[in-house]
Structure 1
């Protein structure tokens, strides 16, 4: 079983799509033996294009899927919630789910691991540091708490109140 961290983001019907993404991931991955954990939800500005603010969070889960199977599963959830696979990289999103970490795997294919944006985007690093402060970045060799403490980006980011659903085997900031 692999310990996996996924980044979720949305800037179109944001609350609805973040909640829908969490439900879909929960349905597929959460169990009594392997509960799913979710960080606080953060509001951030759009990066790379002019657009509405995003809501972002990070989810920790355990899976026996391979990296490619997990990536395909995430893309299927995105498509089911209105995100076409042909969408430009820097564009509005109903739901975006990215594999950030898969155990301590380092690779460039089938997806880049660890995902480079961990080190560059506050909306990924802060919730990751919240969920796994003592976990080490597999390339940098620093904990995510250390990386967040030393982060020097200028992105606007703030935690928000988010109405998490009361789902079994889901650990949220409200019930941690």
Structure 2
């Protein structure tokens, strides 16, 4: 079994598409023996373009599927929720699901692992540090909590109160320590 972490974001009809994405990932991966874990939801400005603010979070599942199959499921869920294949990288999104980590795999294909934005974007690193503070980045060897504590970017995030749909195998992670950016 492998553990997979997803970065999930939306800046179009954000509540609807974040809930839909979590529900679809839950249906695809979560079981009573292997629940899906989710961080808090954060709101942040768009990065790389002018647009509506994003809702972002990180989710984690355990699966026996390979990375190619997991990627295909993510792309299918995105398409089902209005994500257009081949859309400009920095543009509005109904639903964006990126595989951030697949165990400690380091690869460039079929997806870049670990995703580079783990270390550069607060909207990925903060929720990842909350959901998996003691896990280590496969290239740096530092824990995600250490990376978050040392983050020096200027992105401003706001943690939100967000109600997820009642899903039987969904576990919300509540952080014990928080560092805020202001």
TM-score normalized with structure 1 length:
0.97
Structure 1 unpaired stretches of 5+: none
The answer to whether the 8 Å contact 1:36/1:169 transfers is: yes
Contact 1:106 1:114 in 2 (8 A): yes
Helix, strand or coil for the counterpart of 1:114? coil
Q: How many angstroms apart in 2 are the aligned matches of 1:141 and 1:53?
A: 32
Partner of 2:78: 78
2:59 match: 59
Q: Give the ranges of 4+ consecutive aligned residues of structure 1 lying more than 4 Å apart after TM superposition.
A: none
Q: In 2, distance between residues paired with 1:132 and 1:68?
A: 23
| CA-based RMSD | 0.8
Check whether the contact 1:43–1:55 (CA below 8 A) recurs between aligned residues. yes
Aligned to 1:69: 69
Secondary structure of 1:16 counterpart:
helix
- Cα distance, 1:173 vs structure 2: 3.8
Paired with 2:163 and 2:33, the residues of 1 have a C-alpha distance of 25
2:146 & 2:172 partners in 1: Cα distance? 23
Match of 2:97 in 1: 97
Q: Matched residue pairs, number? A: 174
TM-score, normalized by length of structure 2? Answer: 0.94
Segments of 5+ residues of structure 2 without an aligned counterpart are: 175-182
